[in-house]
Every structure is written in structure tokens, then in C-alpha cells.
Chains A and B, each alone.
Chain A
């Protein structure tokens, strides 16, 4: 089995096209080579746009049949400014405006908002995130806004550090943050301290995560959560992301490596409704980055360069970076690599055991029930005789904690008595990420809100159990 290589076989069997004509119109001279096919400029663009429309169309049909509310949706485009989302913006614009044979019908989307999150904070003032911190980066918002202005869409420019804004929560005004100590993962709900700026909080958070992989992973989920909250706030039913197939295949491998196999189908599929009121669509999922590059060049679309934390770093800097390097190198040698991975990924489906309640409070992705126990069972860290004494200690300390907790309750009654352990609310991968923190960190309000939700949920469940015996129906009991 080891030596069957579908890719190399394919290469051997298919001889290179002898004539260099476009395989589609068969008249014009070919100028573009995509995998094994040659196209002329015109046909290439036609095929490219066709693929995009097919994806958009499909997602619209799905959502229409599900809701039966006819045409018209408000959508948000997550726009990084990079080539892929640049193409997406252009194609969405074309799609939504020119539909000559359907003039009588309304536009596909009633309203389109473009949202960009600026990450320049990661590279600026005193941040140790980037080794080449000399080249502190300017905000990307101005550049992006210039591009978006061509389209007449409302533009929202956000700064990543504003994830600490109390508005970036489900309720829209949750002002507490979550403090996490290093050793025993104790957590504290704190009122937000206005003296510390969001930028400082974010940098403190990221600088204390010692591993680049974890840092990168963390930034990605902060960004995703921010986009989702923003879409929700603006009443958008749909969030369009510009992940192309090259990016998705890298993600499939890197997420698997990071232990995110469980939520992988949610994070790479073309259409997903995991976030209930905001559907995520990835209309670029069938395009290779090469195709996008060629298309942008042919049509003169300008994109901006958005560095990530590991840009220009050694390939072994982080899992994400290593995977990128690996896939792109492999794809050069075996050109079907990317599409094979992407197709495989598309066949994955969320497990039946996914429960909406089991949502990791940091990345908002589902976690596997009991994954902590499983992890404990397969990594034994103690010898039994010692383990017992340790447990005794822990019991003691926990009883200590309980009394102090009780005191707290007496003095200020805003803490719910249902104790929830922080690490239990995380998915496997986020727990691994937070295992490498150096000192106490502060997590944004939406995480704190998640903890609170979990607590009240627990309480609701308790209430349900004793429902029949309760004499009054007061919620604030």
C-alpha cells in the first residue's frame, strides 16, 4: 500500500498536452496552466468565476429552502485585504449586481457590509511577538478602506485589541474579564480595569503564551470570534470568508495536528451553521491560490500584504507555518495534493456526539465530552502512593478554597455558587494552548461571559431536577 501514489500514477498516465491550445474553447492559444489543464485567458476567467458562482448559488439555495423567506439576506464579508478575500469582494460585487437575465428579481443580498480586523498591534510598540520588530507595521485599515471605497459598501474597520471591548459579547455589554493564574488554573471574574488599555491587555495575554503555535492559534480564534460577534451585532445572517482551497488544505492538516480533528469539519466546510444565527460560507473553497493570483493579475485587482506572526520566519517556527511549508512543497512535486486534501476534508462531517452545550469558551468550537479524562488516562503523571497524598492535599486545599469562597459569597453576592472549573470548559486544543502560559493572563469579556453562561446553565439544570418541589417560581432564588 505504501508505494501506490495516485498522484504520480496520474502524472505518468496523462501525457502532457501536445498542443498548447486552450482545452475549453480549443481555438485560442493557452496562456494559463492549472494543474494538468491549459486555458486561454478568457476561458480561465470564465471557469474561475463559474466555480465561485456555483458555490454562492448552492449556499443560497440551501438557506432559501430552509427558511422560505425568499430573496434578500444581509451579509458580512470578512476582508483581510489579501488576494483571496480581494477576489471574493470583487466577485460578490459582480454577482450581486449584474444578473441581466433576472432583472425582475431582487439582488441576491440586500445589504453587504465589509469588515476588516487590523492586527498591526501584534507588530507594534514593545511587542515581543515578532522577531523583526524593527519594522513596526502601520495600520492596515486605511489601505483596506481605500479598496472598499470602490464598491460603495459600508465598511467596518476594527482593531484586534478591541476584542476586550465589553460590546464584543453575546449580551453586548458584559464588562467583566477573566483572570487566569498560572499554576492551578484558578480563575477570577474581574471588573474591567479601565486604567489598562485594550492594547496592553492583548499584548500581555499574547506575550505570556510562550509557544508560537499556541499564540498563532489564539490570534486566529480571537479574530474569528470578533468577526462573528460583529456580524451578529450588525444583523448579518451570513459571514463570507475568503479561505481558498490551498489555505483550507493547510488548515485541514494543521488543525488535525493541533488536536482539532473533532471540530475540523466545522472549520473547513463551505457552509456551516454552528454559530446558529450567523452562517459561515466560504465561496472561495474550490480555488487554488495560484488561480487567484493569476485572476487578480489578469483583472488588475490590487491586494495588500498582511503579515502574520510567523511570516518571514523559519518553517519550523510553528505548526501552522510548518504545515504551510510542507503542503506547498508537496504540491509543487505532486500537483494534486491540495485538491485531494480539500476534497477529503469536504467529506468529513461533524460527529453525532457534538452537543451545542459543549462549546469551548475560548474558540467557541465544540469539544468532546470527557476529553480531559481521556487525556488523564493516557498520560499517567503520578505513581499511586504519591497520587493519594497529592489528592489529599488537593482536597484540603479545595476545602480551603470552599471556605474562602463562602466568605466571598457573604460579602458580595454576585458570584454564583455553582463551581465550574475553567479547564473543563475548554476544548483539547485550547487547553494545550493555555498550558504554556508564563504568568497570569487576562482573557477578554466574551470568555468571561461564556463562563458565566455555563454556570447559570448548570444552575438551570439543577433547578429543572428539583422543579416539582419548588414552591415559588422566582428566578433569583
Chain B
């Protein structure tokens, strides 16, 4: 039996939209999917004309669809944006190297300039090395903290005004849930914002905030977009896994459950003040940003330094020796001109530091 699309009533319906339950045809699905993202961008005033925008591209489904849709909407509605692709190379063999190949193919397809920033270039450590050092238990902490900063640094190198990431409604729901379970009130407040702006840091937004993960997969599937789909080989831990299963079950009971609402935090609760890291100039709630503490731990052979009891560790092991390698200061990042793909060129300053360290 051929079921016609409920929107146009002409074409054959090929998909039941998870968000609304409507049975729609391919073209109508494309249309509503894209328009919803357009509405999100317009209603939240994400961009100004002639903004330079970096798309955080991992090669996964979210960012591939994001790159595709951003380019499409930019042309269709004349946002007048200058788009870039920005990738982070964590240095995970068998995972990131393959997905980066996808990004490079995307670059050619969409004809967007690409910049790759690697952990080893920035921090002197690849994820493979870090896992060797700290084991599989807390490695995601390193990866997450490092990636955030690496993205911002990459954006400065590209001299862009804005980063867009492929976080979708499911991701945000998961983060909300995790922050409640963890009791992280400050992040709970921040994590539902569609656009984060700190002083002196680059605007970051999530155009997919109201887009279902399933629909993103559908879109990529129908458009036959080229993306890389493998879970990270250093997979997530049990606690988050529970949360994920819970959300999946929720979605089955009531699909609209994924889309959340804003929270408001009590005024009296003392929230950490966002400042700037003393060592590298990146935004931070503490004297030192997490990346610096983690890196210090790695370089001093104390990988637990940034996880849990930092103060106690400091008491036992003393302050950081002067000659430990650190991340170059944020203000000293060079804007690269034209030549974007210089990921293989190692960071000279860092190497110097490393040499001192060894000597």
C-alpha cells in the first residue's frame, strides 16, 4: 500500500518523523528539517551578516549534516556568512585518523577551507599517549577539556567570529540529565543556552539544539552524505551509559521528551566567577584552567592531578617546577593566513619547552 505524504499529499511518504509522528515524503522532510534549523538561527539571532563562522567538524554524522545544512541555508537565505571547517585531531589511531579523511573529503565536496588543530601540536600529547599514561578510566576528561580549548584556539588561528557545533537535542538532553545527576548547578544553567558568549572568547552556538538525532541520521541517510560512524575506541563510562539508556527509553515513551526547557538558578547560590587562566589566558573559573592543570599532571607524571583532589595532590607533590611544558599563551596565537592545513607543522615554542624539560 502506498501512503501519500501528509504534507504535500502527492509523493509517497517514506519516513515517519520522530518529532511529530507525521508520515512525510523525502522532499517535505528535507524542507521541514532545514526550515526548523533556519528558524532556530533566525529566532536566536545567531549570526550577523558577513560573520566568519567555523563549523566544528569531526567527520561524524552531526557535523557532516551541519556543514551541509549551513552551506545550503547560507546560500538559500543569503546569510552572507564566510564558512570554514575546523577539525581537531586528538590523535586516536583507528578512529580520528579515519574520520579526518571524511572531513577532508567533505572539504572538497563543499569547497570550504579546512583547518586541523592537533593535540600533539598544541599540548605535546596525543590521546593515544595520554591513555597509555592514565589508563581508560578518566581519559575522557582529558579529551573533553583539551578539545574545548583546542577548538577555541583553532578559531583564533582562523580569525573567525563564531563557532557552530553539531550538538543536537539528544546531546543537550543528555547533558542536562548528567548535570542534574552530578549536581553541577553552574553547568546546568549554562548547558541549555543555545549560544555561549564569554568575555574575550569566541561565540559558540548549536543550531541543532532542537533537532533530533534520529532526524539527522535520516537526513544524512537520504541525502547519502558521506560520514564516519564509529564510536570512539576509548568508549564512555558506565554512569553516562545509564543516562543514555534512560533517554532512549524516554524517547520511546514520548518522543517529544528530548526537547527541554530552560532552568533558572537560585540567586543566592554562589556561582564560580568566570575569569581567565593565569597560565595560558584561556577562560576559566579557577586560577588555572582545567587544561593547564591536566597538562601539568601529564608532564609531571602525576596524571591524577587534575582529577579529584587537586589541592591534596599539590600539597604532597609541591608546585609545578619552572621548566614544565605549558600551553602557549592565548594572546600569542598566530593567525594563519591562507595556509590552513598546517597541522603537521609542530609548535615550535612547545618543542623548545619540551627540550628544556628533557634537559
Asked if A259 and B256 make an inter-chain contact with CB atoms under 8 angstroms apart, the answer reads yes
- A2-B259 in contact (CB<8A): no
B77 in the interface, Cβ–Cβ < 8 Å? no
Write out the residue numbers on chain B whose beta carbons fall within 8 Å of the beta carbon of A253: 177, 180
Which residues of B lie under 8 Å from residue A7 when comparing CB positions?
239
Q: Does A258 sit at the interface, judged by CB under 8 A? A: yes
Q: Is the CB of B259 within 8 A of A378?
A: yes
A2-B141, A319-B254, A351-B264 known; A330 vs B269 contact (CB < 8 Å) = no
The interface-forming segment of A218-226, A236-244, A333-341, A456-464 is A333-341
Say yes or no: A379-B265 contact (C-beta < 8 A), given A3-B237, A322-B246, A340-B183: no
Among A1, A343, A382, chain B packs the most CB atoms within 10 A around the CB of: A1
Q: Are A350's CB and B180's CB within 8 A? A: no
Kindly provide the distance from the CB of B353 to the nearest chain A CB, expressed in whole angstroms: 26
Report how far A379 CA is from B18 CA in the complex, Å: 11
**A54 on the interface (CB 8 Å rule)?**
no
A264 touches B (CB below 8 Å) = yes
Asked if A466 is an interface residue, CB under 8 A from chain B, the answer is no
Contact call A2/B257, Cβ cutoff below 8 A: no
Q: Within the complex, what minimum Cβ distance (angstroms) separates B323 from chain A?
A: 29
Check if A349 sits within 8 Å of B259, measured CB to CB: no
B residues in contact with A1, CB < 8 Å: 140-141, 144-145
CA distance A432 to B140 in the complex (A): 37
Which residues from 252 to 282 on chain A have a C-beta closer than 8 Å to any C-beta of chain B?
A: 252-253, 256-262, 264-265
B348 interface hit (Cβ, 8 Å) = no
Interchain CB contact under 8 A, A386 and B7:
yes
Q: Please, which residues of chain A bring their CB within 8 A of the CB of B345? A: none
Q: Is the CB of A383 within 8 A of B7?
A: yes
**Please, which residues of chain A bring their CB within 8 A of the CB of B144?**
1-2
Q: Is A8 an interface residue (CB 8 A)?
A: yes
Query: Complex Cα distance A413/B43, Å?
Result: 42
B139 in the interface (beta carbon within 8 A): yes
Q: Is B319's beta carbon under 8 Å from chain A?
A: no
Contact size class for B?
A: 35 or more
Contact assessment for A344 and B180 in the assembled complex, using a CB-CB cutoff below 8 Å: yes
Q: Is the Cβ of A330 less than 8 Å from the Cβ of B242?
A: yes
Of all chain A residues, the one with the shortest Cβ separation from B31 is: A383
Say yes or no: A378 contacts B141, CB within 8 Å. Answer: no
Distance from A436 Cβ to chain B, minimum over Cβ atoms (Å): 9
Assembled-state Cα–Cα distance A347/B259 (Å): 22
Which residues of chain B are within 8 angstroms of A211 by Cβ–Cβ distance?
254
Q: How far is the CA of A351 from the CA of B265 in the complex (A)?
A: 8
Residues of chain B within 8 A (CB-CB) of A319 are: 250, 253-254, 257
Cβ-defined partner of A383 (8 Å) among B8, B183, B188, B264: B8
Q: Which residue of A lies closest to B250 (CB)?
A: A257
Partner of B7, one of A3, A13, A323, A381: A381
What per-residue 1/0 map shows which CB atoms of A307-347 lie under 8 Å from chain B? 00000000110110011001001100010010011011101
With contact pairs A2-B140, A258-B257, A377-B43 given, residues A349 and B265 touching in the complex (Cβ less than 8 Å): yes
Contacts of B242 in A (CB 8 A): 326, 329-330
| Highest count of chain A CB atoms <10 Å: which of B39, B140, B263 | B263
**Chain A residues, Cβ within 8 Å of B31:** 380, 383
B301 within 8 A of A: no
A9 touches B308 (CB 8 A): yes
B210 at the interface (CB under 8 A from A): yes
Q: Cα distance A3–B136 when bound, in Å?
A: 9
**Complex contacts, B239 vs chain A, CB 8 Å:** 5, 7-8, 334
A352 interface neighbour in B253, B264, B309, Cβ under 8 Å:
B264
**CA–CA, A382 to B29, complex, Å?**
10
Task: Check B237–A347 contact: CB distance below 8 A.
Answer: no
A213 CB-CB contact with B under 8 Å: yes
- Which residues of A, 376-404, contact B by the 8 Å Cβ criterion? 377-383, 386
Residues of B within 8 A of A432 (CB): 254, 256
Q: Does A428 contact B (CB under 8 A)?
A: yes
**Residues on the B chain within 8 Å of A379, using CB:** 19-20, 36, 210
Interface residues of B in 161-182 (CB under 8 A from A): 176-177, 179-182
CA distance A432 to B261 in the complex (A): 14
Q: Which of A213, A259, A345, A351 is in CB contact (< 8 Å) with B260?
A: A259
Q: Give every chain A residue within 8 A of B140 (Cβ-Cβ).
A: 1-3
27 contacts between A and B (CB under 8 A): A1-B144, A6-B182, A6-B183, A211-B254, A258-B254, A258-B257, A259-B261, A261-B260, A261-B261, A322-B253, A326-B246, A326-B249, A330-B181, A341-B183, A344-B183, A344-B188, A348-B185, A349-B266, A349-B267, A377-B36, A377-B39, A377-B40, A378-B40, A379-B36, A380-B32, A382-B7, A383-B31
Interface residues of B (CB under 8 A from A): 7-8, 19-20, 22, 28, 31-32, 35-36, 39-40, 43, 137-141, 144-145, 176-177, 179-185, 188, 210, 236-237, 239-240, 242, 246, 249-250, 252-254, 256-257, 259-267, 269, 307-309
